[in-house]
Copies of this chain bind each other. A is one copy, B any other.
Amino acid sequence: MAKTLGERNTRQKQAIRDAFVRAGRPLATEEVHRAAQTVSAGLGLATVYRSIRSLLEEGWLAVVDVPGRNPLYEIAGKGHHHHFSCTNCARVYEFEGCATVDAKPPRGFKTTGHDLTLFGTCAACNGTSRKATAS
């Protein structure tokens, strides 16, 4: 049905994978485009979209849907975790296994999963961290 090619190891796709590895946080398509372009000049936006989709299908990437933003993508296989969306710098971080969700949906509803996003200001914006930067 969905032919999942992605069998060739091209310069472009490698540049895109590297962008995620280097960033260490969820990235938007446009950020990926910019980052990967510094390595693979002339990289087309369409290729970014196609590669991201392909990496999603092969399970290397995962979608991060934060309310109010365009979808972000992050390297998959990190185990259950949630996201923190900084309302000041608009950056999204992930934090591993630090949230407990005790959800009780109405009777008759079967819960199979959940999605949690925290909002607030990040360490960098709070000036609480000495090394405050990101890409």
A45 to B95, CA, bound (A): 40
Residue with the highest number of chain B CB atoms closer than 10 Å, among A82, A87, A109, A126: A109
**Which residues from B are CB-within-8-Å of A119?**
111-115
The listed residue (B101, B106, B110, B126) touching A109 by CB distance below 8 A is: B126
Interface: A129 (CB within 8 A): yes
B105 touches A98 (CB 8 A): yes
A95 to B103, CA, bound (A): 10
**Which residues from B are CB-within-8-Å of A121?**
109-110, 112
A116 to B46, CA, bound (A): 32
A71-85 interface code vs B (CB 8 A; 1 in, 0 out): 000000000001010
Interface: A7 (CB within 8 A): no
